A and B are shown apart, each in its own frame.
Chain A
Protein backbone atom coordinates (compact mmCIF):
# COMPACT_ATOMS: atom_id res chain seq x y z
CA UNK A 1 0.00 0.00 0.00
CA UNK A 2 1.32 3.41 -0.92
CA UNK A 3 1.77 5.99 1.77
CA UNK A 4 -1.08 8.45 2.26
CA UNK A 5 -0.44 11.95 1.01
CA UNK A 6 -1.10 15.10 2.97
CA UNK A 7 -2.48 18.42 1.80
CA UNK A 8 -0.79 21.73 2.71
CA UNK A 9 -3.44 22.13 5.44
CA UNK A 10 -2.71 18.83 7.20
CA UNK A 11 -1.12 20.41 10.27
CA UNK A 12 -3.97 22.88 10.57
CA UNK A 13 -6.56 20.06 10.42
CA UNK A 14 -4.78 18.26 13.25
CA UNK A 15 -4.49 21.46 15.27
CA UNK A 16 -8.23 22.05 14.81
CA UNK A 17 -8.98 18.57 16.13
CA UNK A 18 -9.86 17.09 12.74
CA UNK A 19 -10.42 13.35 12.74
CA UNK A 20 -8.13 12.26 9.93
CA UNK A 21 -9.12 9.36 7.70
CA UNK A 22 -7.78 7.93 4.44
CA UNK A 23 -9.65 9.30 1.43
CA UNK A 24 -8.59 8.92 -2.21
CA UNK A 25 -4.98 8.43 -1.16
CA UNK A 26 -4.91 11.38 1.21
CA UNK A 27 -5.24 11.83 4.94
CA UNK A 28 -8.28 14.08 5.18
CA UNK A 29 -10.48 15.36 8.01
CA UNK A 30 -13.81 13.53 8.08
CA UNK A 31 -14.99 15.88 10.83
CA UNK A 32 -13.83 18.32 13.47
CA UNK A 33 -14.93 18.31 17.12
CA UNK A 34 -18.23 20.08 16.26
CA UNK A 35 -19.33 16.93 14.42
CA UNK A 36 -20.89 16.28 11.03
CA UNK A 37 -24.38 17.51 11.89
CA UNK A 38 -23.19 20.82 13.36
CA UNK A 39 -20.75 21.33 10.48
CA UNK A 40 -23.50 20.67 7.94
CA UNK A 41 -25.88 23.09 9.63
CA UNK A 42 -23.19 25.74 10.00
CA UNK A 43 -22.50 25.62 6.25
CA UNK A 44 -26.19 26.07 5.42
CA UNK A 45 -26.59 28.88 7.96
CA UNK A 46 -23.30 30.76 7.69
CA UNK A 47 -20.10 29.62 5.95
CA UNK A 48 -17.93 26.52 5.97
CA UNK A 49 -14.30 26.21 4.93
CA UNK A 50 -13.38 22.95 3.19
CA UNK A 51 -9.94 21.69 2.22
CA UNK A 52 -10.30 20.17 -1.24
CA UNK A 53 -6.59 20.26 -2.05
CA UNK A 54 -6.67 16.54 -2.75
CA UNK A 55 -8.54 17.26 -5.96
CA UNK A 56 -6.59 17.52 -9.19
CA UNK A 57 -5.86 20.93 -10.72
CA UNK A 58 -4.85 20.85 -14.35
CA UNK A 59 -4.03 23.52 -16.92
CA UNK A 60 -4.42 22.92 -20.65
CA UNK A 61 -2.46 25.27 -22.89
CA UNK A 62 -2.23 25.43 -26.65
CA UNK A 63 -1.61 28.23 -29.16
CA UNK A 64 -4.67 29.97 -27.69
CA UNK A 65 -7.85 29.21 -25.76
CA UNK A 66 -9.73 28.10 -28.87
CA UNK A 67 -7.06 25.55 -29.75
CA UNK A 68 -7.08 24.08 -26.25
CA UNK A 69 -10.91 24.14 -26.18
CA UNK A 70 -11.24 22.40 -29.53
CA UNK A 71 -8.86 19.72 -28.32
CA UNK A 72 -10.78 19.16 -25.07
CA UNK A 73 -14.03 18.87 -27.03
CA UNK A 74 -12.61 15.64 -28.47
CA UNK A 75 -12.75 14.16 -24.95
CA UNK A 76 -15.89 15.61 -23.38
CA UNK A 77 -19.41 16.19 -24.75
CA UNK A 78 -19.52 19.82 -23.60
CA UNK A 79 -19.41 23.14 -25.40
CA UNK A 80 -15.89 24.20 -24.47
CA UNK A 81 -15.32 26.53 -27.43
CA UNK A 82 -18.43 28.52 -26.64
CA UNK A 83 -17.54 29.03 -22.99
CA UNK A 84 -16.97 32.72 -22.39
CA UNK A 85 -13.77 33.98 -20.81
CA UNK A 86 -14.12 34.05 -17.04
CA UNK A 87 -16.77 31.33 -16.99
CA UNK A 88 -16.76 27.75 -15.75
CA UNK A 89 -18.76 24.68 -16.73
CA UNK A 90 -19.43 21.15 -15.46
CA UNK A 91 -18.05 18.37 -17.63
CA UNK A 92 -17.73 14.62 -18.01
CA UNK A 93 -14.88 12.49 -19.29
CA UNK A 94 -16.37 9.52 -21.14
CA UNK A 95 -15.02 6.19 -22.33
CA UNK A 96 -15.66 4.67 -25.74
CA UNK A 97 -18.94 3.16 -24.51
CA UNK A 98 -20.13 6.52 -23.19
CA UNK A 99 -19.52 5.47 -19.58
CA UNK A 100 -18.39 8.23 -17.22
CA UNK A 101 -14.65 8.15 -16.42
CA UNK A 102 -14.85 11.20 -14.15
CA UNK A 103 -16.71 14.45 -13.71
CA UNK A 104 -14.89 17.75 -13.68
CA UNK A 105 -15.11 21.51 -13.74
CA UNK A 106 -13.44 23.41 -16.56
CA UNK A 107 -12.92 27.14 -16.84
CA UNK A 108 -11.95 29.57 -19.58
CA UNK A 109 -9.15 31.55 -17.99
CA UNK A 110 -8.35 33.65 -21.05
CA UNK A 111 -5.36 32.03 -22.67
CA UNK A 112 -5.81 28.59 -21.09
CA UNK A 113 -8.26 26.07 -19.67
CA UNK A 114 -8.25 25.30 -15.96
CA UNK A 115 -9.67 21.95 -14.89
CA UNK A 116 -10.53 20.56 -11.47
CA UNK A 117 -10.94 16.77 -11.33
CA UNK A 118 -11.65 14.21 -8.62
CA UNK A 119 -8.78 13.12 -6.39
CA UNK A 120 -9.35 9.41 -6.93
CA UNK A 121 -9.37 9.85 -10.72
CA UNK A 122 -6.73 12.51 -11.20
CA UNK A 123 -3.84 10.26 -12.23
CA UNK A 124 -6.01 8.47 -14.78
CA UNK A 125 -7.55 11.73 -16.01
CA UNK A 126 -4.15 13.31 -16.57
CA UNK A 127 -2.84 10.23 -18.36
CA UNK A 128 -6.00 10.25 -20.50
CA UNK A 129 -5.56 13.96 -21.33
CA UNK A 130 -1.89 13.55 -22.15
CA UNK A 131 -2.41 10.50 -24.34
CA UNK A 132 -5.16 12.21 -26.31
CA UNK A 133 -3.98 15.82 -26.48
CA UNK A 134 -0.20 16.04 -26.35
CA UNK A 135 1.87 17.36 -28.00
CA UNK A 136 -0.54 19.89 -29.55
CA UNK A 137 -1.84 20.77 -26.10
CA UNK A 138 0.36 21.01 -23.01
CA UNK A 139 -1.23 19.19 -20.07
CA UNK A 140 0.15 20.62 -16.85
CA UNK A 141 -0.79 19.17 -13.47
CA UNK A 142 -0.69 21.89 -10.84
CA UNK A 143 0.86 20.33 -7.77
CA UNK A 144 2.03 23.47 -5.99
CA UNK A 145 -1.40 24.92 -5.26
CA UNK A 146 -3.95 24.09 -2.59
CA UNK A 147 -7.71 24.28 -3.16
CA UNK A 148 -10.10 25.65 -0.56
CA UNK A 149 -13.87 25.92 -0.74
CA UNK A 150 -15.74 28.58 1.18
CA UNK A 151 -19.43 27.68 1.09
CA UNK A 152 -22.59 29.07 2.59
CA UNK A 153 -24.77 32.18 2.63
CA UNK A 154 -22.08 34.20 4.43
CA UNK A 155 -19.33 33.23 1.95
CA UNK A 156 -19.78 36.37 -0.15
CA UNK A 157 -19.64 38.78 2.77
CA UNK A 158 -16.55 37.03 4.12
CA UNK A 159 -14.66 36.96 0.83
CA UNK A 160 -15.51 40.54 -0.06
CA UNK A 161 -13.68 41.62 3.08
CA UNK A 162 -10.54 40.35 1.31
CA UNK A 163 -11.51 41.26 -2.26
CA UNK A 164 -14.53 43.50 -2.91
CA UNK A 165 -14.64 42.28 -6.54
CA UNK A 166 -15.83 38.89 -5.29
CA UNK A 167 -19.29 40.40 -4.83
CA UNK A 168 -19.53 41.06 -8.55
CA UNK A 169 -19.03 37.41 -9.46
CA UNK A 170 -22.06 35.28 -10.22
CA UNK A 171 -22.49 31.51 -10.15
CA UNK A 172 -19.78 29.82 -12.26
CA UNK A 173 -17.74 32.98 -12.82
CA UNK A 174 -13.98 32.62 -12.45
CA UNK A 175 -11.53 35.39 -11.64
CA UNK A 176 -8.02 35.89 -10.38
CA UNK A 177 -8.32 37.78 -7.10
CA UNK A 178 -5.76 38.99 -4.64
CA UNK A 179 -6.73 37.66 -1.22
CA UNK A 180 -4.59 38.91 1.61
CA UNK A 181 -1.76 39.50 -0.83
CA UNK A 182 -2.09 36.01 -2.30
CA UNK A 183 -2.88 35.38 -5.97
CA UNK A 184 -6.00 33.24 -5.92
CA UNK A 185 -7.83 31.60 -8.80
CA UNK A 186 -11.41 31.88 -7.62
CA UNK A 187 -14.61 30.39 -9.00
CA UNK A 188 -18.09 31.05 -7.66
CA UNK A 189 -19.11 27.43 -7.34
CA UNK A 190 -19.01 24.50 -4.99
CA UNK A 191 -20.39 21.15 -3.98
CA UNK A 192 -22.93 22.00 -1.30
CA UNK A 193 -25.87 23.62 -3.11
CA UNK A 194 -24.98 26.84 -1.33
CA UNK A 195 -23.51 30.01 -2.73
CA UNK A 196 -19.76 30.00 -2.33
CA UNK A 197 -16.32 30.05 -3.82
CA UNK A 198 -13.59 27.58 -4.70
CA UNK A 199 -10.17 29.12 -4.21
CA UNK A 200 -6.89 27.88 -5.66
CA UNK A 201 -3.87 29.34 -3.90
CA UNK A 202 -0.13 28.61 -3.76
CA UNK A 203 0.45 25.72 -1.35
CA UNK A 204 2.89 27.71 0.75
CA UNK A 205 0.27 30.40 1.42
CA UNK A 206 -2.76 28.15 1.90
CA UNK A 207 -2.53 27.73 5.65
CA UNK A 208 -2.18 31.47 6.23
CA UNK A 209 -5.25 32.17 4.12
CA UNK A 210 -7.23 29.37 5.78
CA UNK A 211 -6.39 30.84 9.19
CA UNK A 212 -7.49 34.29 8.08
CA UNK A 213 -10.78 32.92 6.80
CA UNK A 214 -11.34 30.80 9.92
CA UNK A 215 -10.68 33.83 12.12
CA UNK A 216 -13.93 35.26 10.76
CA UNK A 217 -16.92 34.76 13.09
CA UNK A 218 -19.02 33.25 10.32
CA UNK A 219 -16.51 30.64 9.18
CA UNK A 220 -15.99 27.15 10.63
CA UNK A 221 -13.89 24.25 9.30
CA UNK A 222 -15.93 21.51 7.66
CA UNK A 223 -14.87 17.90 7.06
CA UNK A 224 -15.64 15.30 4.42
CA UNK A 225 -18.61 13.93 6.36
CA UNK A 226 -20.61 17.12 6.07
CA UNK A 227 -19.31 17.67 2.54
CA UNK A 228 -21.03 14.40 1.66
CA UNK A 229 -24.35 15.16 3.39
CA UNK A 230 -24.41 18.66 1.88
CA UNK A 231 -23.83 17.44 -1.68
CA UNK A 232 -26.35 14.63 -1.21
CA UNK A 233 -29.08 17.08 -0.17
CA UNK A 234 -28.05 19.23 -3.15
CA UNK A 235 -28.59 16.21 -5.44
CA UNK A 236 -24.99 16.31 -6.68
CA UNK A 237 -23.30 13.13 -7.88
CA UNK A 238 -20.35 11.56 -6.12
CA UNK A 239 -18.06 9.90 -8.64
CA UNK A 240 -17.56 6.19 -8.03
CA UNK A 241 -20.94 5.99 -6.33
CA UNK A 242 -23.71 7.76 -8.27
CA UNK A 243 -21.80 7.78 -11.53
CA UNK A 244 -19.05 5.55 -12.87
CA UNK A 245 -17.96 3.81 -16.08
CA UNK A 246 -21.20 1.82 -16.00
CA UNK A 247 -23.41 4.92 -16.23
CA UNK A 248 -24.07 7.12 -19.25
CA UNK A 249 -24.88 10.83 -18.89
CA UNK A 250 -28.53 10.42 -19.88
CA UNK A 251 -29.40 7.80 -17.28
CA UNK A 252 -27.36 9.71 -14.69
CA UNK A 253 -29.76 12.65 -15.23
CA UNK A 254 -26.81 14.74 -16.42
CA UNK A 255 -28.04 15.39 -19.97
CA UNK A 256 -28.37 19.09 -19.00
CA UNK A 257 -24.55 19.16 -18.99
CA UNK A 258 -24.43 18.34 -22.72
CA UNK A 259 -25.03 21.56 -24.61
CA UNK A 260 -27.12 21.63 -27.80
CA UNK A 261 -24.12 22.32 -30.01
CA UNK A 262 -22.70 18.86 -29.18
CA UNK A 263 -26.01 17.02 -29.63
CA UNK A 264 -27.54 15.59 -32.80
CA UNK A 265 -28.21 18.49 -35.17
CA UNK A 266 -25.75 20.76 -33.36
CA UNK A 267 -22.91 22.50 -35.19
CA UNK A 268 -20.32 20.32 -33.43
CA UNK A 269 -22.48 17.26 -32.74
CA UNK A 270 -20.67 14.19 -31.48
CA UNK A 271 -16.94 13.86 -31.89
CA UNK A 272 -16.37 12.72 -28.30
CA UNK A 273 -15.79 9.22 -26.91
CA UNK A 274 -18.97 7.17 -26.75
CA UNK A 275 -20.89 9.75 -28.80
CA UNK A 276 -23.05 7.18 -30.58
CA UNK A 277 -24.26 5.56 -27.35
CA UNK A 278 -24.61 8.84 -25.46
CA UNK A 279 -26.57 10.62 -28.19
CA UNK A 280 -28.74 7.55 -28.81
CA UNK A 281 -29.65 7.50 -25.14
CA UNK A 282 -30.54 11.19 -25.24
CA UNK A 283 -32.74 10.60 -28.29
CA UNK A 284 -34.49 7.47 -27.08
CA UNK A 285 -34.58 8.18 -23.38
CA UNK A 286 -32.71 5.99 -20.89
CA UNK A 287 -34.07 2.65 -19.63
CA UNK A 288 -33.18 3.66 -16.08
CA UNK A 289 -32.65 6.96 -14.35
CA UNK A 290 -30.89 8.43 -11.37
CA UNK A 291 -33.54 9.81 -9.01
CA UNK A 292 -33.89 11.24 -5.54
CA UNK A 293 -35.27 8.88 -2.93
CA UNK A 294 -37.00 9.90 0.27
CA UNK A 295 -37.45 7.02 2.75
CA UNK A 296 -40.83 7.33 4.46
CA UNK A 297 -39.51 6.14 7.82
CA UNK A 298 -36.52 7.28 9.79
CA UNK A 299 -34.10 4.53 8.78
CA UNK A 300 -31.39 5.76 6.40
CA UNK A 301 -31.06 3.84 3.13
CA UNK A 302 -27.40 3.76 2.30
CA UNK A 303 -25.40 2.88 -0.79
CA UNK A 304 -26.15 -0.65 -1.99
CA UNK A 305 -29.69 -0.91 -0.59
CA UNK A 306 -31.70 -2.82 -3.24
CA UNK A 307 -34.96 -1.26 -4.42
CA UNK A 308 -38.16 -3.17 -5.19
CA UNK A 309 -41.45 -2.20 -6.81
CA UNK A 310 -43.42 -4.33 -4.37
CA UNK A 311 -43.51 -4.75 -0.62
CA UNK A 312 -43.05 -8.49 -1.07
CA UNK A 313 -41.59 -10.76 -3.72
CA UNK A 314 -40.20 -9.83 -7.09
CA UNK A 315 -36.62 -9.02 -7.96
CA UNK A 316 -34.74 -5.81 -7.30
CA UNK A 317 -35.51 -3.08 -9.83
CA UNK A 318 -32.67 -0.79 -8.83
CA UNK A 319 -30.47 0.28 -6.00
CA UNK A 320 -29.37 3.14 -3.83
CA UNK A 321 -26.05 4.68 -4.88
CA UNK A 322 -25.74 7.32 -2.12
CA UNK A 323 -27.78 7.68 1.00
CA UNK A 324 -27.78 8.82 4.55
CA UNK A 325 -29.30 11.35 6.86
CA UNK A 326 -29.98 14.84 5.57
CA UNK A 327 -29.61 17.27 8.48
CA UNK A 328 -31.37 20.14 6.66
CA UNK A 329 -34.16 17.87 5.43
CA UNK A 330 -34.35 16.44 8.94
CA UNK A 331 -34.62 12.86 7.75
CA UNK A 332 -33.08 10.23 5.53
CA UNK A 333 -32.36 11.06 1.88
CA UNK A 334 -30.85 9.00 -0.91
CA UNK A 335 -30.19 8.78 -4.63
CA UNK A 336 -30.29 5.71 -6.79
CA UNK A 337 -31.17 4.20 -10.13
CA UNK A 338 -34.68 2.99 -11.01
CA UNK A 339 -36.38 1.98 -14.29
CA UNK A 340 -37.58 5.00 -16.28
CA UNK A 341 -41.19 3.91 -15.80
CA UNK A 342 -40.78 4.17 -12.02
CA UNK A 343 -38.82 7.41 -12.00
CA UNK A 344 -41.67 9.90 -11.59
CA UNK A 345 -41.54 11.84 -8.32
CA UNK A 346 -44.01 10.38 -5.85
CA UNK A 347 -43.63 6.80 -7.11
CA UNK A 348 -43.64 4.52 -4.09
CA UNK A 349 -40.92 1.90 -3.98
CA UNK A 350 -39.40 -0.26 -1.27
CA UNK A 351 -35.82 -0.38 -0.09
CA UNK A 352 -34.61 -3.54 1.63
CA UNK A 353 -32.81 -2.59 4.82
CA UNK A 354 -31.61 -5.39 7.11
CA UNK A 355 -33.99 -7.83 5.42
CA UNK A 356 -37.04 -5.59 5.73
CA UNK A 357 -38.70 -3.76 2.84
CA UNK A 358 -39.28 -0.18 3.87
CA UNK A 359 -41.29 2.31 1.82
CA UNK A 360 -39.41 5.01 -0.05
CA UNK A 361 -40.75 7.64 -2.44
CA UNK A 362 -39.06 8.83 -5.61
CA UNK A 363 -38.37 12.52 -5.02
CA UNK A 364 -37.33 15.48 -7.13
CA UNK A 365 -33.72 16.61 -6.80
CA UNK A 366 -32.33 18.61 -5.12
CA UNK A 367 -33.76 17.89 -1.68
CA UNK A 368 -32.70 21.35 -0.54
CA UNK A 369 -33.16 24.22 -2.99
CA UNK A 370 -29.92 25.60 -4.38
CA UNK A 371 -28.88 28.99 -3.06
CA UNK A 372 -26.68 30.11 -5.94
CA UNK A 373 -26.09 33.70 -6.95
CA UNK A 374 -27.17 33.59 -10.58
Chain B
Protein backbone atom coordinates (compact mmCIF):
# COMPACT_ATOMS: atom_id res chain seq x y z
CA UNK B 1 0.00 0.00 0.00
CA UNK B 2 1.18 3.51 -0.87
CA UNK B 3 -0.06 6.88 0.32
CA UNK B 4 -0.17 10.35 -1.24
CA UNK B 5 0.14 13.70 0.48
CA UNK B 6 -3.50 14.19 -0.57
CA UNK B 7 -4.37 11.40 1.89
CA UNK B 8 -5.22 8.80 -0.74
CA UNK B 9 -4.26 5.17 -0.36
CA UNK B 10 -3.19 3.18 -3.42
CA UNK B 11 -3.39 -0.58 -3.43
CA UNK B 12 -1.83 -2.37 -6.41
CA UNK B 13 -3.79 -5.48 -7.45
CA UNK B 14 -2.58 -7.10 -10.69
CA UNK B 15 -2.36 -4.40 -13.33
CA UNK B 16 -4.88 -2.17 -11.52
CA UNK B 17 -4.49 0.17 -8.59
CA UNK B 18 -7.40 0.68 -6.19
CA UNK B 19 -7.65 4.19 -4.75
CA UNK B 20 -9.43 5.43 -1.65
CA UNK B 21 -8.95 7.97 1.12
CA UNK B 22 -7.33 7.27 4.45
CA UNK B 23 -9.09 7.02 7.79
CA UNK B 24 -7.27 10.20 8.77
CA UNK B 25 -8.73 12.03 5.76
CA UNK B 26 -12.22 10.66 6.39
CA UNK B 27 -12.06 11.85 9.97
CA UNK B 28 -10.87 15.29 8.93
CA UNK B 29 -13.66 15.57 6.36
CA UNK B 30 -16.36 14.65 8.83
CA UNK B 31 -19.66 13.06 7.83
CA UNK B 32 -19.58 12.48 4.08
CA UNK B 33 -22.93 13.25 2.42
CA UNK B 34 -22.17 13.22 -1.31
CA UNK B 35 -19.72 11.52 -3.62
CA UNK B 36 -19.41 12.04 -7.38
CA UNK B 37 -17.29 9.49 -9.23
CA UNK B 38 -15.91 9.57 -12.78
CA UNK B 39 -17.38 7.44 -15.55
CA UNK B 40 -15.57 4.13 -16.03
CA UNK B 41 -13.45 4.41 -19.17
CA UNK B 42 -12.39 7.98 -18.43
CA UNK B 43 -8.77 8.70 -19.30
CA UNK B 44 -7.19 10.83 -16.58
CA UNK B 45 -3.92 12.59 -16.00
CA UNK B 46 -2.13 12.73 -12.69
CA UNK B 47 -3.62 15.52 -10.52
CA UNK B 48 -6.86 15.76 -12.50
CA UNK B 49 -9.80 16.28 -10.16
CA UNK B 50 -11.56 12.94 -10.57
CA UNK B 51 -13.80 12.63 -7.54
CA UNK B 52 -15.89 15.22 -5.69
CA UNK B 53 -16.55 14.45 -2.08
CA UNK B 54 -18.74 16.61 0.13
CA UNK B 55 -19.04 16.38 3.86
CA UNK B 56 -21.44 18.29 6.09
CA UNK B 57 -18.67 20.87 6.32
CA UNK B 58 -17.30 21.37 2.81
CA UNK B 59 -16.60 20.09 -0.67
CA UNK B 60 -13.22 18.67 -1.62
CA UNK B 61 -11.66 17.05 -4.65
CA UNK B 62 -9.80 13.81 -4.95
CA UNK B 63 -6.97 14.01 -7.47
CA UNK B 64 -5.92 11.25 -9.83
CA UNK B 65 -2.68 9.92 -8.35
CA UNK B 66 -1.47 8.54 -11.70
CA UNK B 67 -2.02 8.84 -15.44
CA UNK B 68 -4.30 6.13 -16.71
CA UNK B 69 -7.81 4.89 -17.32
CA UNK B 70 -10.51 4.65 -14.69
CA UNK B 71 -11.76 1.09 -15.17
CA UNK B 72 -14.12 0.63 -12.25
CA UNK B 73 -15.83 2.85 -9.68
CA UNK B 74 -17.48 2.01 -6.37
CA UNK B 75 -21.12 3.05 -6.73
CA UNK B 76 -21.82 1.81 -3.20
CA UNK B 77 -20.36 5.06 -1.84
CA UNK B 78 -22.56 7.12 -4.17
CA UNK B 79 -25.64 5.37 -2.79
CA UNK B 80 -24.35 5.44 0.77
CA UNK B 81 -21.78 8.24 1.23
CA UNK B 82 -21.59 7.45 4.95
CA UNK B 83 -19.63 4.32 4.05
CA UNK B 84 -16.62 6.60 3.53
CA UNK B 85 -16.66 7.34 7.25
CA UNK B 86 -17.46 3.79 8.29
CA UNK B 87 -14.83 1.92 6.31
CA UNK B 88 -12.59 4.32 4.39
CA UNK B 89 -9.71 1.90 3.93
CA UNK B 90 -11.89 -1.08 3.02
CA UNK B 91 -15.37 -1.15 1.52
CA UNK B 92 -15.34 2.55 0.68
CA UNK B 93 -12.72 2.46 -2.07
CA UNK B 94 -13.31 5.09 -4.77
CA UNK B 95 -12.05 3.76 -8.10
CA UNK B 96 -9.66 1.37 -9.82
CA UNK B 97 -7.22 2.85 -12.29
CA UNK B 98 -5.22 1.12 -14.99
CA UNK B 99 -2.06 3.20 -14.87
CA UNK B 100 -0.15 4.15 -18.01
CA UNK B 101 2.82 5.38 -16.02
CA UNK B 102 3.72 3.76 -12.73
CA UNK B 103 6.76 5.89 -11.97
CA UNK B 104 4.99 8.23 -9.47
CA UNK B 105 4.39 5.19 -7.27
CA UNK B 106 8.04 5.33 -6.27
CA UNK B 107 7.54 8.83 -4.87
CA UNK B 108 4.52 7.98 -2.78
CA UNK B 109 4.84 7.18 0.90
CA UNK B 110 4.77 3.78 2.51
CA UNK B 111 2.65 3.27 5.62
CA UNK B 112 5.40 4.28 8.06
CA UNK B 113 6.15 7.46 6.13
CA UNK B 114 2.45 8.33 5.90
CA UNK B 115 2.03 7.86 9.65
CA UNK B 116 4.88 10.29 10.21
CA UNK B 117 3.36 12.67 7.63
CA UNK B 118 0.02 12.91 9.45
CA UNK B 119 1.75 13.07 12.81
Contacts and interface: CB of A to CB of B under 8 A. Distances in A.
A33 to B, nearest CB: 10
Contact of A354 (B31, B52, B81): B52
Nearest to B33: A325
A25 interface: no
A299 B56 contact: no
Contacts of A327: 56
B86 interface: no
Interface string B38-70: 000000000000001010110100000000000
B30 interface: yes
Contacts of B30: 31, 35-37, 225
Nearest to B27: A35
Contact of B34 (A30, A35, A298): A298
A229 B34 contact: no
Given A299-B34, A300-B33, A325-B34, A225 B57 contact: yes
Nearest to B79: A298
Interface residues of B, number: 11
Say what secondary structure dominates the interface of chain B: strand
Contacts of A324: 56
Contacts of B56: 36-37, 225, 229, 324-325, 327
Contacts of B72: none
B102 to A, nearest CB: 30
A263 interface: no
A188 interface: no
A300 B59 contact: yes
Nearest to A226: B56
Contact of A299 (B31, B54, B57): B54
Nearest to A295: B34
Interface string B12-35: 000000000000000000110110
B36 interface: yes
Interface in A271-330: 298-300, 302, 324-325, 327
Interface of B: 30-31, 33-34, 36, 52, 54, 56-57, 59, 81
Given A36-B56, A36-B57, A298-B81, 10 more contacts: A35-B30, A225-B56, A299-B36, A299-B52, A300-B59, A324-B56, A325-B31, A325-B34, A325-B54, A354-B52
7 contacts: A30-B57, A35-B31, A36-B57, A225-B56, A300-B54, A325-B54, A332-B33
